Structure 1
């Protein structure tokens, strides 16, 4: 898969992803939604959600700034990033809950599984992986029923400011027809996103509704809530 370079250095791209099963739990997805909705995952990174969902016959598209780079570059970057992430988590294990993953080794195994499934599927179906640089998305108005966004917006609130959050959510409401789900509502330190109420008010001003929902997935401490943005 060939991509034009966006100008972003590959060294600044973090290419680590979650598995399909993690997505189902963190976004509280139902069989009916998976079967009937067109879904956009952004930023999707090295997540295997699109790969596995597509194999199951669901209609899912992935978008990420990383996809401006070649699959080969991303695969090696992913391996390096997983190693780095596992090393870092090992030093602060107390900041995580070890219910879903039984051990550091199990976490590493699942992260590698997501990477392998993602890269293999990218090679086979490059049309399902769109380069995108948020807060802009290269899709039509209302192109997807649902947008899923994991471990990005509020998690990196120390470097993605409130204005960026508003621009991204406005763009997501343009592209989504029915729902947007964002997980988690905590930053990298495990603290709750401090501007959540202001974001919810902004969403209301856009003509959408928003609610916080507790989900069955929690790995990072205090990271067990998602924001559901929806229309009646």
Structure 2
């Protein structure tokens, strides 16, 4: 399967593990601005209302997801962080529609790689992705202070600023580009800014292969004073992408 054919299951954004943090490294054409809906987040992360409402939550990387918009409207305190937010909202909206159109063409060609019990058809999937993008962009215009431009593995937040951090379709999806050192550095930073709990989904790469150094990473996390558990979730669109890693501070 080509890189283009993997567009739907890719991260909301494609971050490169580079030494330089200069903004001029960041080019819009290298970003995949596709997002999931609030309802998908609820299922991907096994969340309930009490896990979200009234809580300070970081979504990183958040991309074009609508979780921040919907959760905040319901009484949560969510901040979205992503490399994409270095760009203007109009640029991102246009890029998002192009990415969705591109992704749908390739998902249609490789339909066997997905569980279609999640969506009735490619058309339904397209509508869901457009809804996420629409909700996200609308909220970005109304509440720009909620959308913070970052370049992992560095975050501009205070220690333990968030009660919970959610991280979807990034860390292990790009195992061929983001090495073990990057995973450790990113988890260090997520643990620094998080008080209680981190949830990461999924645990496979773009081909559906589970991250092969997960046990090693969990050992590292344990040494930092965090417990970890792998949990099945009630969501599987990409085949084999049906588990999350939950980290809880001891």
User: TM-score higher than 0.5 here?
Assistant: yes
Quick one: distance in 1 between partners of 2:233 and 2:55?
20
Please, which of 109, 115, 118 is the counterpart of residue 136 of structure 2? 118
Q: What are the residue-to-residue correspondences of 1:110-149 with 2, within 5 Å?
A: 110-149=128-167
Q: Deviations over 1:78-113 (max 9, x none)?
A: 001111111111111101001111110000000000
Contact 2:53–2:74 (8 Å) recurs in 1: no
Contact 1:28–1:216 (8 Å) recurs in 2: yes
Q: Deviations over 1:105-126 (max 9, x none)?
A: 0000000000000000000000
Contact 1:213–1:228 (8 Å) recurs in 2: yes
Q: TM-score, normalised by structure 2?
A: 0.90
Quick one: distance in 2 between partners of 1:23 and 1:64?
16
Question: What's the Cα RMSD here?
Answer: 1.1
Gaps of 5+ in 2: 1-21
Q: Deviations over 1:5-54 (max 9, x none)?
A: 55301100110000000000000111111124210000000000001111
Contact 1:38–1:60 (8 Å) recurs in 2: yes
Quick one: distance in 1 between partners of 2:24 and 2:56?
27
Q: What are the residue-to-residue correspondences of 1:13-92 with 2, within 5 Å?
A: 13-92=31-110
Question: What's the secondary structure of 1:136's corresponding residue?
Answer: coil
| Equivalent in the alignment of 2:170 | 152
Runs of 4+ in 1 over 6 A off after TM superposition: none
Q: How many residue pairs end up in the alignment?
A: 229
Quick one: distance in 1 between partners of 2:55 and 2:38?
16
Q: Deviations over 1:129-187 (max 9, x none)?
A: 00010101110000000000000000111111111000000000000000000000011
Gaps of 5+ in 1: none
Quick one: distance in 2 between partners of 1:158 and 1:78?
24
